[in-house]
C-alpha cells in the first residue's frame, strides 16, 4: 500500500514532464513558423535574425515562455495533467491558425487567424506565469484568464499610447530643410463622380505642399479601386495635374489594396532600382507609425508627414485603436 502511494506522485510528475516537453517542442515549432511567415508575408528572404521590432518582441515572448516551461520540467510541482493537455492543444491550434493565415489569400480571414494566434500565445504566457509563480495551483485556469486579461489590456493601452503620441517629421519639411527622393501619398477612398474623399484630398494637398517647396522631386501616388471606377491613384494624379504638377514627376501605382502592398511597390519598383536613400510617407497621423514600421522592416528609410485632417474625438479613438491592433498584427505576423 505504501509503495502504491509513493509511486503515484512519481507517475504524475513523469506525465507532467512529458507534456511540458511536448509543449516546449510545440512552442519552438510555433516560433520557427512565425519567423518564417513574417518574412514570407513581406516577400522577403530569410537571412538570419534581424534587429526588427517584430522579431525582438516575438523572440522575447517565446524565450520567456520556453524558460518557464523548462523551469517546470525540472520542478516537482504537481500540475493538473488535464490542464497541461489543454495548454498543449492550444499551442498546437495556434500553430495551425498561423499556418493557415500564411497560405490563405483572403485578407480578412488572415487577419482573424493571425489575431487568434497572437491571443492564444499571450494566454499561454499568462498560463505559464501562473503555473510558475503562483503558490497555489487551485483554479489555475481562472487565474490564467485573469492574468491574460490584465496583460492584454495593459499591452493594448501601451501600444495605443505609442500610436497616439507618434510624432511626424512635418517641422523638418515645413522649414524647407528636409529633402527626400520622393513623397509617397498613401491611398484613401474615392467618392462618387471620381472625386477624392476629404481624407484623400488632404493627403493630396500635403503631398503637393512638400513638392512645391522642393522637398521632393517626385510624388508616388498609390491605391487601387473598385471595378468601373477610377482608382485612388488615378484620382490623385488628376488632382495633382490640376494643381500644376508635371505628370512626368508623378509615379502611379493603381493596383494595391493595402498599405503593405503600396510600400512593397515602392520597395520593389522604385527604392532599390533607383537607388533612393529616403522617402516621405504622407498620410493621416494615426496611420503613420505602422507605415513607418512597415518601411523599416523592408529596409526603407522613411520620414512621415501627417495631414491636417481633423476628426471627431470618437472617430479619432476608433482609428487609433484600429491602427494599434493592425500594428501588433504586423509586428508579429507581417500582415
DSSP-based three-state secondary structure for 249 = helix
Contact 141, 258 (CB under 8 A): no
Q: What is the pLDDT of residue 2?
A: 41
Question: Based on the domain organization, do 86 and 191 belong to the same domain?
Answer: no
Question: Based on the domain organization, do 49 and 29 belong to the same domain?
Answer: yes
Instruction: List all residues 6 or more positions away from 86 whose beta carbon is below 8 Å from its beta carbon.
Output: 141
E strand or H helix at 162: helix 140-164
Mean pLDDT per 10-residue interval, the chain, length 335 residues: 54 92 97 96 89 95 97 90 96 96 90 96 96 90 96 96 95 86 95 90 96 95 87 96 96 94 96 96 96 96 93 88 96 95
Question: Based on the domain organization, do 215 and 142 belong to the same domain?
Answer: no
Contact 207, 219 (CB under 8 A): yes
Q: Indicate the number of domains in the chain.
A: 2
Q: What is the pLDDT of residue 6?
A: 52
Q: What is the pLDDT of residue 5?
A: 46
E strand or H helix at 252: strand 250-253
* Domain assignment of residue 179, given as a range: 170-311
Question: Based on the domain organization, do 151 and 185 belong to the same domain?
Answer: no
Q: Does residue 333 belong to any structural domain of this protein?
A: no
CATH number at residue 199: 3.40.50.620
Q: What is the pLDDT of residue 312?
A: 83
Q: Does residue 329 belong to any structural domain of this protein?
A: no
Question: Based on the domain organization, do 174 and 158 belong to the same domain?
Answer: no
* DSSP-derived secondary structure letter, 280: E
- pTM of the predicted structure, to 2 decimals: 0.91
Q: What is the pLDDT of residue 145?
A: 96
Give strand pairing partners of 302. 279
Q: What is the pLDDT of residue 1?
A: 47
Q: Does residue 118 belong to any structural domain of this protein?
A: yes
Q: Is the dihedral of CA 284, 287, 293, 295 positive or negative?
A: negative
Q: What is the pLDDT of residue 7?
A: 56
Amino acid at each position: 500500500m505504501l509503495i502504491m502511494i509513493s509511486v503515484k506522485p512519481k507517475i504524475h510528475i513523469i506525465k507532467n514532464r512529458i507534456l511540458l516537453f511536448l509543449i516546449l517542442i510545440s512552442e519552438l515549432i510555433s516560433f520557427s513558423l512565425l519567423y518564417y511567415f513574417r518574412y514570407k508575408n513581406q516577400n522577403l528572404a530569410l537571412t538570419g535574425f534581424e534587429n526588427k521590432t517584430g522579431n525582438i518582441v516575438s523572440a522575447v515572448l517565446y524565450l520567456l515562455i520556453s524558460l518557464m516551461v523548462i523551469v517546470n520540467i525540472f520542478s516537482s510541482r504537481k500540475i493538473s495533467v488535464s490542464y497541461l493537455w489543454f495548454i498543449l492543444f492550444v499551442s498546437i491550434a495556434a500553430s495551425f491558425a498561423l499556418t493557415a493565415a500564411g497560405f490563405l489569400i483572403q485578407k480578412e480571414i488572415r487577419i482573424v487567424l493571425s489575431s487568434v494566434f497572437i491571443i492564444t500565445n499571450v494566454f499561454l504566457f499568462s498560463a505559464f506565469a501562473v503555473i510558475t509563480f503562483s503558490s497555489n495551483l487551485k483554479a489555475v485556469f481562472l487565474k490564467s484568464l485573469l492574468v491574460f486579461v490584465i496583460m492584454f489590456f495593459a499591452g493594448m493601452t501601451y501600444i495605443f499610447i505609442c500610436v497616439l503620441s507618434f510624432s511626424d517629421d512635418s517641422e523638418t519639411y515645413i522649414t524647407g530643410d528636409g529633402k527626400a527622393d520622393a513623397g509617397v501619398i498613401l491611398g484613401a477612398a474615392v467618392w462618387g463622380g471620381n472625386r477624392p474623399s476629404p481624407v484623400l484630398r488632404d493627403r493630396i494637398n500635403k503631398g503637393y505642399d512638400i513638392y512645391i517647396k522642393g522637398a521632393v522631386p517626385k510624388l508616388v501616388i498609390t491605391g487601387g479601386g473598385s471595378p468601373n471606377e477610377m482608382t485612388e491613384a488615378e484620382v490623385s494624379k488628376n488632382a495633382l495635374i490640376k494643381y500644376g504638377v508635371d505628370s512626368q514627376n508623378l509615379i502611379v501605382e493603381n493596383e494595391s489594396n493595402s498599405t503593405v502592398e503600396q510600400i512593397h511597390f515602392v520597395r520593389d519598383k522604385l527604392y532599390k532600382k533607383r537607388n533612393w536613400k529616403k522617402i516621405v510617407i504622407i498620410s493621416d497621423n494615426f496611420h503613420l507609425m505602422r507605415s513607418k514600421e512597415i518601411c523599416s522592416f523592408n529596409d526603407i528609410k522613411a520620414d512621415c508627414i501627417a495631414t491636417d485632417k481633423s476628426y471627431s474625438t470618437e472617430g479619432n479613438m476608433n482609428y487609433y485603436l484600429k491602427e494599434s491592433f493592425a500594428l501588433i498584427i504586423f509586428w508579429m505576423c507581417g500582415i
